Amino acid sequence: MIGLGTLINSGGIVLGGLFGLLFGKLLKERHQTSLCKACGISVMFIAVAGAMEQMLTIEKDGLTSGKAMLVTVCLSLGALIGEIINIEGFFEKFGEWLKRKTGNSGDNNFVNGFMSASFTVSIGAMAIMGAIQDGISGDWSILATKAILDFIIVMVMTGSMGVGCIFSAIPVFVIQGAVTLLAVFIKPYMTDLAVSYISLVGSILIFCVGINLVWGKKINVANMVPSVIFAVAAAFLPVAW
């Protein structure tokens, strides 16, 4: 059964998107462009904060950084596998299908909005751990908190990028719902170290989304998603990253 947390989270995204649509209609095209770039910059700084939280440690002599090799290996292998599978192509086809089925064929920014919003709200430790907690104990508090954050993010993104952002609720519903259903099997692999690595790699992927929002599509973020799986696997290797 799909957890209540996932339903709340998906509903928060849809509601945020609807508010964003109403807000976006009040803006001129140049205002929407500026808002999109501002949103991209915000996403990048949020991602940097998440990544640095995992990479930096405080010692007597000051700050030290680590896990650079982990990031390099996970992103490289993840991108290679993603390109071979062509996950980006699947998402684009699904986005185009959604655009036609929802009567938005004339919206040239639909697919970009759908993909950008989807990767911003679907990738991260909160999504995984919140769904596991919801599935194991019925505690949906993490996903309720995430719903509030996603409401704000999707509202702003919809205001600048259009209705496609609302449909980011679909991958959130599917991914988090699947994790909730499989929570009993997944939980043993979600050690503190694995969650830390997911948070680090996921934050970097979200940073890439921010780059695409500010400078136009430069990175195939979808094809880098397998990096998260490699991040989990890395936590079980006898390697000091």
Does residue 61 belong to any structural domain of this protein? no
The alpha carbons of the chain give a radius of gyration, in whole angstroms, of: 18
| 62 has a pLDDT exceeding 90 | no
Answer whether residue 77 is part of any domain. Answer: no
pLDDT at 80 over 90: yes
Query: Which range, 24-28, 102-106, 237-241, has the best average confidence (pLDDT)?
Result: 102-106
Its pTM surpasses 0.75: yes
Flag whether 205 is in a domain. Answer: yes
CB 163, CB 17: distance < 8 Å: yes
- C-alpha closest to that of 157 among 188, 105, 116: 116
Q: Which pair of tokens denotes residue 197?
A: 């690595």
As a whole number, mean pLDDT of residues 8-17 equals 96
Confidence of residue 29 (pLDDT cuts 50, 70, 90): confident
Picking from 204, 213, 206, the residue whose alpha carbon sits closest to that of residue 67 is 204
**pLDDT given at position 124:** 79
Q: How confident is the model at residue 36 (pLDDT cuts 50, 70, 90)?
A: confident
| Domain interval for residue 206 | 4-17+29-54+86-234
Q: How many domains does the chain have?
A: 1
Q: How confident is the model at residue 1 (pLDDT cuts 50, 70, 90)?
A: low
Cite the beta strand spans of 86-199 per DSSP E.
none
200-240 per-position pLDDT tens digit = 999 999 999 999 989 988 899 999 999 999 999 999 999 88
| Percent of the chain with pLDDT strictly greater than 90 | 73
The answer to the question of residue 47 being in a domain is yes
SS3 225: coil
The per-residue pLDDT of the chain, averaged, comes to: 92
On whether residue 96 sits in a domain, the answer given is: yes
Token duo for residue 128:
């995984």
- Specify the 3-state DSSP secondary structure of 26: coil
Q: Average pLDDT, stretch 111-122?
A: 93
CA 3 – CA 5 distance, rounded (Å): 5
**Residue 46 belongs to some domain of the structure:** yes
C-beta of residue 54 within 8 angstroms of C-beta of residue 67: yes
The answer to the question of residue 63 being in a domain is no
Q: Is the pLDDT of residue 84 over 80?
A: yes
Tell me the three-class secondary structure of 51-97, residue by residue: HHHHHEEEECCEEEECCHHHHHHHHHHHHHHHHHHCHHHHHHHHHHH
Would you say residue 24 lies in a domain? no
